[in-house]
């Protein structure tokens, strides 16, 4: 089970992924779409949160096309509501949020 943790640093916002093998930084997935060259953000509905939502969706789903289909909705439903000072969400929590978005849209 992965845990995603967002925290603020002197250089901006960072997200780490922790699983049974250790920690790593979350790949921003600029290869799929570039919303923010300055990186991740959360707590509102802008370009930094869009980049984070895309990265989270791609990592949780393991499917780039599915991530591209859902990340904007994930931005508004989850990422835009994350606390400004830091947060943690499990892979299961994010997967359930994505399933809920898909159900709401009849997917």
* Per-residue pLDDT at 36: 82
Cα 6-66-75 angle, rounded to 5 deg: 40
Per-residue pLDDT of the chain (107 residues; tens, 9 = 90+): 999 999 999 989 999 999 999 999 999 999 999 998 888 999 999 999 999 999 999 999 999 999 999 999 999 999 999 999 999 999 999 999 999 998 887 76
Helices vs. strands in the chain: H and E counts, helices first: 3, 4
* Per-residue pLDDT at 107: 62
d(CA 93, CA 90): 5
Please give the tally of structural domains in the chain. Answer: 1
* Per-residue pLDDT at 75: 97
- Predicted TM-score (pTM) of the model is 0.95
d(CA 100, CA 44): 20
Instruction: Tell me which residue range forms the domain holding 92.
Output: 3-104
């Amino acid at each position: 089970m992965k845990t995603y943790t967002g925290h603020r640093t002197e250089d901006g916002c960072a997200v780490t992924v922790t699983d049974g093998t250790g920690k790593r930084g979350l790949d921003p997935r600029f290869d799929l779409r570039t919303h923010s060259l300055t990186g991740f953000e959360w707590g509102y509905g802008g370009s930094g949160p869009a980049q984070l939502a895309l990265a989270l969706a791609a990592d949780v789903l393991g499917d780039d096309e599915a991530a591209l289909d859902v990340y904007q909705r994930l931005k508004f439903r989850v990422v835009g509501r994350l606390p400004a000072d830091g947060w943690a969400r499990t892979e299961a929590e994010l997967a359930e949020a994505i399933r809920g978005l898909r159900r709401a849209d009849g997917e």
